[in-house]
Amino acid sequence: MAQGLPGVSEPAARVHRLTRRFGDRTVLDGVEITIGRGEFVALLGRSGSGKSTLLRALAGLDRDAEGDLEVPGTVAVAFQEPRLVPWKRVRANVALGLRSADPRADAERALAEVGLTERGGAWPLTLSGGEAQRASLARALVRDPGLLLLDEPFSALDALTRITMHRLVLDLWERHGPGVLLVTHDVDEALLLADRVLVLDEGRIAHETRVDLPRPRHREHPDLTALRATLLARLGVTPEGTA
Ligand SMILES: Nc1ncnc2c1ncn2[C@@H]1O[C@H](COP(=O)(O)OP(=O)(O)OP(=O)(O)O)[C@@H](O)[C@H]1O
């Protein structure tokens, strides 16, 4: 995978002709994506369409992906399962691998930002699902990423916690301004959070929708109803009540 050199007007990430084959199966087939600095992009696609494969390539975790990838800044990833190291306390998990002057102080600051100051000394296994996701977000943000990759980080959470986490992510994004790529199954989540929603199908970005609405957004907003219908149709989901 070729890594581009950072330039003056670099976006947070640029993917050019990204291709990934597993044996004789081509899962990604020349994907093109640009994520602007400070832009929030959501990626939808049917199960098995290659969303996680794309995200892993962007995170630099897949050496066998072909194509050009330009990510000028630091990349941080938060996964569906928080992936905290169980034998390190929460604070130490957030500080893990951090090469700053005072990793512990940075970790404390990040924990405060996600509202988890009091759980810094806890063991990961004692955290609730929402708390563990907050810790995972703190661990991502403490690296001050230019690109934040979120792989379905809210899908295992209950509905109320998910709403709280949506607000938290928007708040952190507005404050820190990374480019975000959020992989999700949830059309509403994509429409509530993102500036732009992409649909991955047959190994390519088959559709793109811009969401020009101020945040916070409400599910019932009439503009979202139309966008939701378009996206569901693109995903091959037939509206209820039709054949
Ligand atoms: N290491 C691998 N070896 C072989 N096939 C793989 C590997 N990783 C992914 N695949 C295949 O690539 C396809 C895309 O997988 P991927 O996990 O990226 O899909 P996804 O869109 O994230 O799915 P989901 O929404 O269900 O999480 C799947 O058919 C999967 O079986």
**Predicted confidence band at 242 (pLDDT cuts at 50, 70, 90)?**
low
Ligand 1 mutation pick, 31, 53, 186, 198, max ligand atoms within 8 A of CB: 53
The answer to whether the CB of 19 is under 6 A from ligand 1 is no
Is the confidence at residue 7, as pLDDT, over 50? no
Q: Which atom of ligand 1 is nearest to the CA of 50?
A: 18
Structure confidence at residue 128 (pLDDT):
93
Quote the pLDDT of residue 243.
47
Q: Is the ipTM of this complex over 0.95?
A: yes
Q: Give the number of the atom of ligand 1 that is nearest the alpha carbon of residue 53.
A: 18
3-state SS track over 63-107: CCCEEEEECCCCEEEECCCCCCCCCCCHHHHHHCCCCCCCHHHHH
Question: If you measure from the C-alpha of residue 116 to the centroid of ligand 1, how many angstroms do you get, rounded to a whole number?
Answer: 33
Model pLDDT, residue 31:
98
Q: Which segment of 83-87, 184-188, 236-240 scores lowest on mean pLDDT?
A: 236-240
Q: The tokens 């969303």 sit on which residue?
A: 51
For the CA atoms of 120, 125, 131, 137, what is the dihedral angle to 10 degrees? 80
Report the mean per-residue pLDDT for the chain: 92
The one-letter code for the residue type at 38 is G
For residue 109, being part of any structural domain is answered with yes
* Whether pTM exceeds 0.90: yes
Is residue 120 included in any domain, yes or no? yes
Whether 194 is in a domain gets the answer: no
Cis, bond preceding 178 (omega within 30 deg of 0): no
Ligand 1 pocket, residue 45 CB under 6 Å: yes
Q: Within a domain: residue 228?
A: no
User: Which DSSP category does 216 fall into?
Assistant: S
In short, whether 203's Cβ falls inside 6 Å of ligand 1 is: no
pLDDT at 93 over 80: yes
10 band by pLDDT with thresholds 50, 70 and 90:
confident
Protein residue with least CA distance to atom 25, ligand 1: 47
- Number of structural domains (the chain) is 1
Query: Per the domain annotation, does 125 fall within a domain?
Result: yes
| DSSP class of 127 | S
Domain-embedded: residue 75:
no
∠ CA 108-112-115 to the nearest 5 degrees?
140
CB 64 within 8 A of CB 23: no
Q: Which of 204, 166, 171 is nearest to 184 (CA)?
A: 166
Instruction: Give 181 Cα–ligand 1 centroid separation in angstroms.
Output: 18
- What are the pLDDT digits (tens) for 154-187? 988 899 988 999 999 999 999 999 999 999 999 9
Q: Tell me: the pLDDT tens digits for 114-131?
A: 999 999 999 999 999 999
Q: Say if 37 falls within a structural domain.
A: no
Q: Using the atom order of ligand 1, give the atom closest to the CA of residue 200.
A: 21
- Is 50 touching ligand 1 by the criterion CB < 6 Å? yes
Distance from the alpha carbon of residue 61 to the mean position of ligand 1, in angstroms? 14
Other Cβ atoms less than 10 A from the Cβ of 69: the count is 20
CA of 218 to the centre of ligand 1 (A): 32
Domain assignment of residue 105, yes or no: yes
- Ligand 1 atom at shortest distance from the alpha carbon of 49: 21
Radius of gyration of the chain measured on its C-alpha atoms: 18
Domain that holds residue 131: 88-143
Pocket test for ligand 1, best of 24, 25, 27, 155 (most atoms within 8 A of CB): 27
